[in-house]
Amino acid sequence: MRPSNKLGRPAAFDKDAALDVAMRLFWERGYEGTSMADLSHAMGIHPSSIYAAFGDKQALFALAAKRYLEVPGQYMVRALAEPTFETFVQAAFYNTVEFLGGKEYPASCFTLTGSLSCGVDTEPAKALMLDIRLRNEAVLKGRLLKARRAGEFSKEENIDDYTRYLSSLLSGLAVQAANGSTRAQLKRTAELALRHLGIRVRSEV
C-alpha cells in the first residue's frame, strides 16, 4: 500500500505524466464531469492502479490541483516576483493572457472549471477550488501591502477593495477565455483594464 519501496514489481507508468493527464482532464471537464473511467482511459492506467497510486477520486483531484499550482499556475508566482508595483500588475495581466490564451492548456482557470458548483456529495471538490481562489487573493493582497510599504501604492486606496478588484478583473478574463475569446482579444481586454488602472501597457513602454 505504501509507495516508493524498491521491492516488488515496478510500476509501468510515469506517475507525474499520469497526474498531468488527470489535471488536464479535470481542468477541461470539471470534477463531476470527469469519471474514473474517463481518467483510466486517458491516463492509460487501469482503475485499480489509479487507486493504488493516488487514492480515491477526491485525493486524485487534490493532487491534480496541487500539480496545477506547481506547474501551470506558476505564471502568477512569476508576476509576484516583479520588483515594482507597476511591473507586477503588468506581468499579472500579461501572464494571465498568455496562460488563458495559450494552446497548451484548456482555455480557462482550473479553479473555476474544476468546480464552481456541484452536487451535495461532491462539495469537498468545490471547497478546495474556493480555498485556492481565496488563497490566491491573500497572496495578491500581500503583494499590494508590500507595494504600500514601498510607497508605490497610495495610502488613500483601500487594500482589501483593490485586492478584490484586481482579483475580479483577472477572474473576468478567465470567463472571457471560457467564452471563446482569442489570445489577441484577451490581450486587448487586459490592456484596456491596465489603462483604466493607470498602468502603462507594454507597447507604450
- Residue 154 in the binding site for a copy of itself (CB under 8 A): no
Report the residue number, 56 or 157, with the smaller CB distance to DNA.
Answer: 56
**Looking only at residues 10 through 69 of this chain, which bind a copy of itself when binding is defined by CB under 8 A?**
28-30, 32-35, 38
Residue from the set 4, 5, 117, 203 that interacts with a copy of itself by CB under 8 A: 117
Residue from the set 141, 197, 200, 201 that interacts with a copy of itself by CB under 8 A: 197
DSSP string, the chain: -----SSSSPPSS-HHHHHHHHHHHHHHHHHHH--HHHHHHHHT--HHHHHHHH-SHHHHHHHHHHHHHHTTTHHHHHHHT-SSHHHHHHHHHHHHHHHHH-SSS-SS-HHHHS-SS--GGGHHHHHHHHHHHHHHHHHHHHHHHHHHHTT-S-TTS-HHHHHHHHHHHHHHHHHHHHTT--HHHHHHHHHHHHHHHT---GGG-
Which residues lie near DNA (CB under 7 A)?
Answer: 2-3, 5-13, 34-38, 45-49, 51-53, 56-58, 119
Which residues lie near a copy of itself (CB under 8 A)?
Answer: 28-30, 32-35, 38, 108, 112-114, 116-120, 122, 130, 133-134, 137, 158, 160-162, 164-165, 167-176, 178-181, 185, 188-189, 192-193, 196-198
